[in-house]
Chain A
Amino acid sequence: KAGVTQTPRYLIKTRGQQVTLSCSPISGHRSVSWYQQTPGQGLQFLFEYFSETQRNKGNFPGRFSGRQFSNSRSEMNVSTLELGDSALYLCASSRTSPGNTEAFFGQGTRLTVV
């Protein structure tokens, strides 16, 4: 079966711009989680969506937002980009929740803010 698909794979943006990243989960999975990964901070949890509702949220500023559609596809948006937002953004899909059933990750979107 198809895995988790993230688009785009690479992005370069300038400070102050906004960006939208997309994640298509595995068919039948209702939970989508988003993470920011940087060398110094590791995997940091952004938020999780389940059946179109945000179920959990990490400690990121309000510039980071997301949503989930009825087909479970999810998007995350970062507004007013800062240099420190440069990172690999990963999404993971799970059948029910990432701590309950296996989380499958996409290959990530590498965002560079210049």
Chain B
Amino acid sequence: QKEVEQDPGPLSVPEGAIVSLNCTYSNSAFQYFMWYRQYSRKGPELLMYTYSSGNKEDGRFTAQVDKSSKYISLFIRDSQPSDSATYLCAMSFSNAGNNRKLIWGLGTSLAVNP
């Protein structure tokens, strides 16, 4: 079993839809959770960063962490064609000081159709 599971999709939605992207993980020691967005032919870029449980909102994006279920989500409201990309979740432990390796999901490919 992989440490981080993410459905690769592809996911196709109409413009304006609410998108839900999810990752599950097996190691309860993960404390830092990130979502990266990767456009075609580009490197990933950090979208959201959360610590421990709870929600974090940034414009149309909301990240949720449910540590009891070992489940994280990224919601995109009012999705736009420019949101079409691959979304990768990543997480790390908290017990390594400044040495924190990232564990990655496979990425979910999202297409928002105009």
Contacts and interface: CB of A to CB of B under 8 A. Distances in A.
Contacts, number: 64
Interface in A71-106: 90, 92, 96-100, 102-106
Contacts of B104: 42-43, 45
Q: Which among B42, B91, B99, B107 has the greatest number of chain A C-beta atoms within 10 A?
A: B99
Interface in A23-53: 33, 41-43, 45, 48, 50
Interface residues of A, number: 24
Interface of chain B, helix or strand or loop or mixed?
loop
Which bracket fits the contact residues of B?
20 to 34
Contacts of B59: none
B21 interface: no
Interface of A: 4, 33, 41-43, 45, 48, 50, 55-56, 90, 92, 96-100, 102-108
9 contacts: A41-B106, A42-B107, A43-B88, A50-B99, A97-B101, A98-B101, A105-B45, A106-B43, A108-B42
